[in-house]
Amino acid sequence: MDLSFNAEERAFQDEVRGFIAKNLTEEMKHATALTPSVFSDPDIGMAWQRALHRQGWGAPGWPVEHGGPDWTPAQRWIFETECARAGVPNVNVMGVKMVGPVIIGFGSPEQKNFYLPRILSGEDYWCQGYSEPGSGSDLSSLKTRAVRDGDDYIINGTKIWTTHAHHANRMFALVRTSDGPRQQDGISFILIDMKIPGITTRPILTIGGDHEVNQVFFDDVRVPVANRVGEEGKGWTYGKYLLEFERGSGIASAKLREGLKAIAGLAESDLTGRAIDSPDIATRISEVEVDIDALEMTELRVLSALQTGQNPGAVSSILKLRNSEIRQAVTRLGADVIGHDALAVEPMRPLYKLNHEPAIPEEMLTVMPEYLNGRAYTIFGGTSEIQRDIIAKMMLGI
């Protein structure tokens, strides 16, 4: 693999840096630095999405005919890396990287024409209706039901751990439309307007004290049949396709590297009494850096496959598994580096909206919230155990 940039790629790198310098405001940068989650608050993330859309860069992984920028794998890697280095906000991941590819792959022409431009522009903000109480890793056991009534489905049930449902105006959901001997065959993929009567969203506060996830209830919610993506009963296929993009279509290594760099900076500072002088801390920083290097090489291979129109396949599970494990290693390291200051947790984020002087320096403010939030990395998007099962089945034939 040739890792050196040619003249055209270096020019593109300069273009990306110029765009970021022009469009990344201090408010966006400060908010992102104080966001412990993988999701930016919508007022920050969607402002950045709109800037990207004006540039024609709103969906780096999409085909050019649907608004993608037609980048090479090297350009995609350059863009993601420069964004990570600059500390730009996360865009609406659920729209651009998850439901967007499903609509492109399986949606009707009407759905593509309506939803894709709204995802690109930031007009729509999406949440994911997958997990239910009792149906997480065993998602095929889901019970939220959609019963056909003329040109509508009537939906009843509940979804849980629904990230940013309190912000979203749209949800993509898996619902049960029929029963049969094989549970997966009775599931359909539905696009839901969150303003429809009968939808109730209740907050769930996580261990870090933040409101990021929710439980959503559906009571006789009428959704047009036209909002079903693809065929009835084929939702399991579309849902798995979406999860491959969720798990393996991004460049996680660049952000992990920046996160490790921040922790290493704290370890070398007087704020932590030079924690780097501990042989254990120094060794762990080096070990994580090597893991990030290995992850980066895998990501580059996947980018090349995506550029040819292939979905990531089983390798997406490898990326999700290693990304989540490395993220947790970085956050554990951060908590150990700042020591007893990790106890000064600021509840009820977002931290960038604090109206008081924090108990510890701002450089340390997100370390413990990131550690607490990061406990979910090996659960959401499919647990680590599920990822290992997928790898074993698809790559090893076990």
Whether 266 and 203 share a structural domain: no
266 and 305 both lie in a single domain: yes
**Which range, of 153-167, 266-280, 307-321, 368-382, averages the lowest pLDDT?**
307-321
Cis peptide before 63 (omega within 30 of 0): no
Residues 64, 200, single domain; the answer is no
Residue 23 counted as domain residue = yes
What tokens appear for 389 in the block?
């099962």
Residue 192 has pLDDT above 80, yes or no: yes
> Would you state the structure tokens that stand for residue 372, as one six-digit string?
């607490």
Considering the domain architecture, whether residues 23 and 159 belong to the same structural domain is answered as no
pLDDT tens string 301-324: 777 666 555 665 677 788 889 999
Statement to judge: residues 85 and 132 lie in one domain: no
Same domain membership, residue 370 and residue 258: yes
Catalytic residues: 246
* Per-residue pLDDT at 92 exceeds 90: no
Which of 314, 328, 311, 322 shows the shortest CA–CA distance to 377? 328
Domain boundary among 67, 91, 115: 91
Strands, E assignment, the chain: 126-129, 145-149, 152-160, 170-176, 187-193, 199-205, 211-224, 228-229
Are 14 and 46 part of one and the same domain?
yes
CATH of the domain at 163: 2.40.110.10
pLDDT tens for each residue of 235-260:
999 988 887 665 555 678 999 999 99
Distance between CA atoms of 208 and 370, rounded to whole angstroms? 9
User: Among residues 178, 203, 233, which one ends one of the domains?
Assistant: 233
State whether 186 and 280 are in the same domain.
no
pLDDT recorded at residue 313: 67
In Å, the largest CA–CA distance within the chain is 70
Region 115-138 average pLDDT:
93
Q: What is the DSSP letter of 97?
A: I
Tally the domains of the chain: 3
Where in the sequence is the domain holding 368, given as residue range(s)?
Answer: 251-396
Asked, for residue 246, whether it belongs to a domain, the answer is no
- Domain assignment present for residue 239? The answer is no
Integer Cα distance of 71 and 52 in angstroms: 14
Q: Which residue has the higher pLDDT, 250 or 290?
A: 290
**Are 229 and 256 members of one domain?**
no
- Model pTM? 0.88
Q: Are residues 55 and 84 in the same domain?
A: yes
DSSP string, 107-124: --HHHHHHHHHHHHHT--
CA distance 396 to 398: 5
Residue 389 located in a structural domain:
yes
Alpha carbon of 92 to those of 48, 49, 153, 241, 253: distances in Å? 10, 8, 27, 18, 19
Residue 362 inside a domain? The answer is yes
More confident residue, 152 or 303: 152
- Asked if the structure places residue 63 within a domain, the reply is yes
Mean pLDDT of the chain: 90
- Whether residue 115 lies inside any domain: the answer is no
Q: Does residue 101 belong to any structural domain of this protein?
A: no
Of 174, 201, 233, the domain-final residue: 233
Together in a domain, 335 and 361: yes
pLDDT at residue 146 greater than cutoff 70: yes
What was the pLDDT predicted at 38? 82
- What CATH number is attached to the domain comprising 307? 1.20.140.10
382: Cβ contacts below 8 Å, ≥ 6 apart: 137, 243, 247, 317, 320, 390
CB of 382 within 8 A of CB of 137? Answer: yes
Pair 33, 148 in one domain: no
